[in-house]
Structure 1
Amino acid sequence: MNARQPAGKRQVSATAFPNSHRLTKTDEFSSVFGFRKALKSTHFLLHYRLRAAEEVAGARLGLVVAKRLVRRSVDRNLIRRLARENFRMMRCRLPSRDLILRLAARPEPLDRRALADEIRKLLEKMITPER
């Protein structure tokens, strides 16, 4: 017997990536870009903004992968999947911030493992305390 839970009663695991962990609105993206704080790596910029105390705790992620840098949609989607997966696995350790991961340079060649490592290292920089 397989009983299903009603749609409103679903439990979210610690490693899930529901809409509450995503930046979805233009205003949310604008506020992060307006804060003008970012970490840089070879191919990515990680923009971030501290969240106010009255906001729900936890990190949220937005992604920007420009078509002019990566023409094929398959490759853009791969980069997004890698970013979401790394964020999902590290979210419980990240401070309460809004993050936008933006592809800033064309990755030539498109190496899945190297991009995943680069994304993971950027997110790990968010975990270490600022000096």
Structure 2
Amino acid sequence: MVSSFARCHRLTKTDEFSSVFGFRRAIRGQWLMLHYQPSQDAARGARIGLVVGKKQFKHAVDRNRVKRIVREQFRLRRAALPAFDLVVRLHAKQAPLTGPALARDLNDLLDRLVRRSRKEEENG
């Protein structure tokens, strides 16, 4: 099955980002921070938004590379994720930041998110 990354899988509006940040739930990894909120429309599934600031990477090519890696990892795992709105934010730049290390960090965060959502379902 080919998995796509359609517009409906993205957070696009400022209000959507603000809502996720306002929920104040986050998981911190080595480089990334994953803010999350249960989705208003569970049928839509997981959606993602990305924030990579100029403070971490001055050059657009570097910021875009980080976003491309995160989007691809999300695309591959989206079907197995619970219905959450996610915002992934780069919180620390450590040299050297390689693609595989960044992908590993995001996958660890997504695994932790799945475990947390299962715990919350069990607890009520």
Structure ID, larger Rg: 1
Q: Tell me if TM exceeds 0.5.
A: yes
- The residue aligned with 2:69 is 82
Compute the displacement of 1:71 (Å).
Answer: 1.2
Q: Distance in 2 between matches of 1:98 and 1:56?
A: 12
- The residue aligned with 2:89 is 102
Compute the displacement of 1:103 (Å).
Answer: 0.3
Compute the displacement of 1:107 (Å).
Answer: 2.8
TM-score under structure 2 normalisation?
A: 0.88
CA deviation profile, 1:73-101 (whole Å, cap 9, x unmatched):
11111110110000000000100010000
Give the fraction of aligned pairs with identical amino acids, expressed as a percent: 45
Partner SS, residue 130 of structure 1: helix
Q: Are residue 34 (structure 1) and residue 29 (structure 2) matched?
A: no
Spell out structure 1 runs of 4+ moving beyond 3 A.
none
Aligned residue pairs: how many? 118
Q: Distance in 2 between matches of 1:23 and 1:126?
A: 18
Unaligned runs of 5+ in 2: none
AA aligned opposite 2:35: H
Of 115-124 and 17-26, more deviation after overlay is shown by 115-124
- The residue aligned with 1:18 is 6
Q: Distance in 1 between matches of 2:49 and 2:19?
A: 12
CA deviation profile, 1:93-121 (whole Å, cap 9, x unmatched):
10001000000011311211111111111
Q: Are residue 118 (structure 1) and residue 105 (structure 2) matched?
A: yes
Instruction: Give the structure with the larger helix fraction.
Output: 2
